[in-house]
Amino acid sequence: MICVVCYVKNMYEKLDEKIDVLVEFTDGNVVPNYFRWQDRTYKVEKINLVHSERKGNDKIYYFSVSNNVNFFRLAFFTRDLSWRIQELYYE
């Protein structure tokens, strides 16, 4: 009997790229629904974590989100109302 075991290596990328995000405002909260990155549109299936921090006069909101395959960390900067993708986890 031969047993074959495959190991899946999770991949991580640290990024800092501008993205476009379609959001919904629900009960006073910002909810990202879709984002466009590298000419591809991603649907946010789940928001896993939201937190914020201050850097000088800027308040940055971080959204750890996922679709059915990947995990992403998106950042919203209040100083210029811009969005950036900062991290990507995939298999």
Q: What is the pLDDT of residues 31-54, one digit of tens each?
A: 999 999 999 999 999 999 999 999
- What is the rounded average pLDDT of the residues 66-79? 96
Is position 57 within any domain?
yes
- Determine the pLDDT at residue 16: 97
C-beta of residue 44 within 8 angstroms of C-beta of residue 36: no
Q: How many domains does one find in the chain?
A: 1
**Amino acid present at 91:** E
Domain that holds residue 49: 15-90
Is position 8 within any domain?
no
Reference 60, options 36, 83, 87; nearest CA is: 83
Is position 70 within any domain?
yes
pTM for the model stands at 0.86
Is position 37 within any domain?
yes
**Residue 32 burial by Cβ neighbours in a 10 Å radius (0-12, 13-18, 19+):** buried
Residue 69 banded pLDDT, cuts 50, 70, 90? very high
Average pLDDT, rounded, for the chain: 91
